[in-house]
Amino acid sequence: MLTLAEIIHKYKALTDKHKRARPMLEMYEEIFKDYRDSSKVFEIGVSQGGSLLAWGKYFSQAQVYGLDNKLARCTFKTGDRIELVELDQSSKEELEVFGKRGPFDIGIDDGSHCWSHQILSFEVLFPQIRSGGLYIIEDIETSYKTHSSPKHWLKYDTGPISAMEYFRNLVDDLNFFGTGLNSQAGKEAEWTNVQKTVEWVMFRPNAIVIKKR
Ligand X SMILES: C[S@@+](CC[C@H](N)C(=O)[O-])C[C@H]1O[C@@H](n2cnc3c(N)ncnc32)[C@H](O)[C@@H]1O
Chain residues binding ligand X by CB under 6 A are: 15-17, 43-47, 50-51, 68-70, 87-90, 110-112, 117
Specify the residue, 35 or 176, whose C-beta has the smaller distance to ligand X.
Answer: 35
Specify the residue, 84 or 129, whose C-beta has the smaller distance to ligand X.
Answer: 84
3 state SS of 192: coil
Cis? peptide before 150, omega within 30° of 0:
no
In the set 113, 117, 147, 152, the catalytic residue is: 113
Neighbours of 127 (CB within 10 A): 15
Rounded to a whole number of angstroms, the minimum distance from the CB of residue 150 to ligand X is 20
Q: What are the distances in angstroms from CA 1 to CA 11, 36, 57, 58, 122?
A: 17, 11, 10, 9, 31
Rounded to a whole number of angstroms, the minimum distance from the CB of residue 171 to ligand X is 26
Specify the residue, 112 or 143, whose C-beta has the smaller distance to ligand X.
Answer: 112
Specify the residue, 34 or 86, whose C-beta has the smaller distance to ligand X.
Answer: 86
Active site residue 113: yes
Helices (H), the chain: 4-10, 21-32, 50-58, 92-99, 115-125, 150-154, 163-175, 193-196
DSSP E strand boundaries for 56-101: 63-68, 82-86
| Spatial CA neighbour of 25 closest among 61, 54, 67 | 54
Q: What are the distances in angstroms from CA 68 to CA 11, 85, 136, 191?
A: 19, 7, 16, 31
Rounded to a whole number of angstroms, the minimum distance from the CB of residue 110 to ligand X is 4
Rounded to a whole number of angstroms, the minimum distance from the CB of residue 129 to ligand X is 18
Q: Which residues are catalytic?
A: 113
